[in-house]
Chains A and B, each alone.
Chain A
Amino acid sequence: MKTCLTFFISTLILSVLIGCNVDQPTDVIDSNTPVESTGALSGGDTTIFSESSHAFSTPAPNLSADALEKHLDGDLEFEAVFVTAPAEVNPGLGPIYNNITCINCHVRDGRGKPPAVDEKFVSMLFRLSLPNTENADTGQSPIPVPGYGTQLNNRAIYGTPSEGTVKIEYSEQTLTTADGTRIHLRYPDYTITDTYKPIPENVEVSPRVAPVVFGLGLLEAIPEETILSYADEADVNGDGISGKPNYVWDVVDKKYKLGRFGWKANQPNLLQQVASAYHDDMGLTTSLFPLENSHGQIQLKENLTSPEVSDEILDVVTFYVQTLAVPARRNVNDPQVMHGEQLFAQAQCANCHIPTLRTGVLPGVPSVSNQTIHAFTDMLLHDMGPDLADNRPDFRASGSEWRTPPLWGIGLVQTVNGHTNFLHDGRARDLMEAILWHGGEAEKSRRMTMQMTNVEREALIAFLESL
């Protein structure tokens, strides 16, 4: 009852403020019609009002009692620490892996970060593949590297060699904005080291930090036709922005499906995303991926049981990531934030980071079905230019294409995870750096940000921090 009242009041305040805003003169960089504020309820009925470090790890408030119980079962499994078989509790780890539990990468269901120089990487991993020299655009799955597969496992149980590790070095470059503000970007350089056997010179390496895991059920519930309605692969409308769907292999249905999850949209649904994380990141087999990640390698141990993670656990963990609440925006009525929201639209950020979408029906998950959400993504691939490229194609995603990541919650990453490292490999040390890394299809937006005054850039950041 109280919650209803709070919701009602927030909505009321918003409507009042939006009402005022329409008549309000704006001092924005061009005179487009002011966009309407998306308001505070980023996740529709799954929104929670939290500004604490629990902002990403709270169950959606609209779960039924049974659904909440299932969510909490999934929560326990998400936090389960795996150990070497045989063991009474959680056996089956590895033998090679990147981490021993989901929660150590997705800390507080939040965002990972690159390690400090000379530290081990914990909440970040590296995908590997060999170039497809026959045909660069096959749209097929990446070619595994013999002896390594498609992911570098930097850890192993005692007595087994890990595959190797990665050394990260950064070099700085300075940008100067139109009003003379200097902004430093750090360019990462990755070198695979300490390999257990020689690795081919031409190996493709894609660094990826752990993404946040809340709100994913809502993204899964967006109808395919909605996502495809934003696609413009050949840029027919000539706005310089394509929007390309990835089509990736669904191991259950055994056919290509629209890719939705992962930095390159290389997973078709959350069940497969979860199963592949168990498999690739922890060396745990499931009915979807019954062969060990060390299959065909010297690290493989005999007599391992399969599956090591049951369908029941897969189901509750999938449900868990489908049903985490989305934190509400803060300060939506702050004039600086509202100004920033206008600038966000005018700099064409909102062309890919689509502010508002409507979910359809996700079978078995009514809490995320038929919701109006503000995730700020189109779920499509875009060319982000050579500076951000990993040069590792992934199904239809080229080496310079990335899926538009949702922006909801980015203003709370500092509170939840204690850092502000953004982009696929955490190279950006704050939100402004992240914006200025955008190239390719977003080059125009980047240039417009460079042309803004400091006051405008601060407003833009204030808007992003309100998400």
Chain B
Amino acid sequence: MKLYNILTVFSCIIIASALIVGCESGDDDEIVDETYDAGAILDHYANNVVYVIYSDLDTEAGELLDAVKALQADTSQSNLEAAQQAWVAARIPWEKSEAFLFGPVDTQGLDPALDSWPVDRTNLQDVLDGPNELTTDYVTNELDDNKKGFHTIEYLLFREGDQRQASDITDRELEYLLAATMNLKDSTAQLANAWAPDGENFVNTIASAGEGNSVYRSQSGALQEMVDGMITIADEVANGKISDPYNEEDTTLVESQFSFNSIADFQNNIRGIQSVYTGNYNSDGPGLNDFVSSTDSALDSRFKTEMQAAIDAIGAIPNPFRDAITNDRPAVQAAIDAVGTVHITLQQDILTLINENEFN
């Protein structure tokens, strides 16, 4: 009986497959009639792109913490500038990592803890004016995400983007800065550990996608995750981060407005997409491009050109971005268009290619 069942179903699948092939043979695209093993792509992505970027983020957060400690010990202008530079440096791996905002960064609530916007400046001032000892424990456990993370630290280090004077920083601000930076470092350590092969090993959740994996039951699910991550950030840069302040001509909507770091932020978002797609971050290895080029090499070269064009178009916006949304509108519009092209190619061509093919 059982055997009969299985045979019946099996023959159904064969008929269905025959129908698919029959249907697709009328289509112009090439037919891929065997499954593609994306194991090496997923393995390299998890181990050598995502995990290494998070490790770099944790390292840079450590550098920032050292710089803040030095600033607290000696609140000189040069120590303030060093801490500001350390903040900008830590921002690089974070913005790159926005090309994969899924998994522990989300399920463990780390994205809001690290990158909440806007800063609750009114309430932050109340905290600074209040009597509480500003320990790491207090900032971490008693205060909301809108008073911690990158942008709160940015606000304390840069204030309004004008030349912040070390002599203007109060002792309470220094205490808060240290506590918030310790909290940031704790979050980046938690995030790196969540992916670490010798930690919680989310790396393996991606690398082992397929049967027996309760999160990604097929390689195509994990590949969709890779592409969805890139789509999300391309969409956000084109249609949110750049467009919203541009359309409204409203500087309060600008990301990293205190540090005037917006343009670098946007470029690093696209560089994150580049690393995910090519598998090239510090080291090179199999990337999504290997699959795409094996199936549609014209698409692969076009997309590589589009990513570089987007980075260049963002770089052509005169700094600071908050002034360019009013003074250099054609340059901003060109960047929106270039990133929009990356978004559309990911959504319409690359994701479709993933969905149309069978993977192990």
List the interface of chain A (C-beta within 8 A of B): 2, 5-6, 8-9, 12-13, 16-17, 19-20, 23-25, 27, 49-54, 72, 76, 81-91, 93, 100-101, 104, 107-108, 120, 122, 155, 157-159, 330-331, 333, 335, 414-415, 417-419
Contact = CB atoms under 8 A, between A and B. Distances in A.
Contact of A158 (B16, B104, B117, B123): B123
B19 A88 contact: no
Contact of B239 (A8, A17, A72): A72
Interface in B112-141: 112, 116-123, 126-127, 130, 141
A374 to B, nearest CB: 20
Given A54-B224, A100-B146, 7 more contacts: A12-B19, A17-B12, A52-B102, A76-B244, A81-B116, A81-B145, A419-B107
25 contacts: A6-B356, A8-B23, A12-B20, A17-B12, A17-B16, A24-B5, A25-B4, A27-B5, A50-B228, A51-B216, A51-B221, A53-B225, A53-B228, A76-B244, A81-B118, A81-B146, A84-B120, A84-B126, A88-B252, A89-B118, A91-B122, A107-B109, A158-B123, A159-B130, A415-B221
B38 to A, nearest CB: 14
Interface in B172-187: none
A6 B16 CA distance: 13
Contacts of B102: 52-54
B224 A20 contact: no
Contacts of A53: 102-103, 106, 225, 228
A330 B221 CA distance: 11
A52 B225 contact: yes
A86 B5 CA distance: 68
A333 B145 CA distance: 45
Contacts of B224: 50-52, 54
Contacts of A101: 112
Nearest to A50: B224
A128 B123 CA distance: 28
Nearest to A86: B122
A79 to B, nearest CB: 9
B112 A104 contact: yes
A48 to B, nearest CB: 10
Contacts of B108: 418
Contacts of A107: 106-107, 109
Which label, helix, strand, loop or mixed, suits the secondary structure of the B interface? helix
Contact of B122 (A17, A76, A85, A331): A85
B27 interface: yes
Those 7 A-B pairs whose CB atoms lie nearest each other, nearest first: A418-B107, A51-B221, A83-B120, A52-B225, A84-B123, A20-B12, A52-B224
Nearest to A417: B107
A109 to B, nearest CB: 12
Given A12-B23, A53-B106, A84-B120, A89 B228 contact: no
B214 interface: yes
Contacts of A27: 1-2, 5
B11 to A, nearest CB: 8
B16 A5 contact: no
B121 A87 contact: yes
B220 interface: yes
Contacts of B31: none
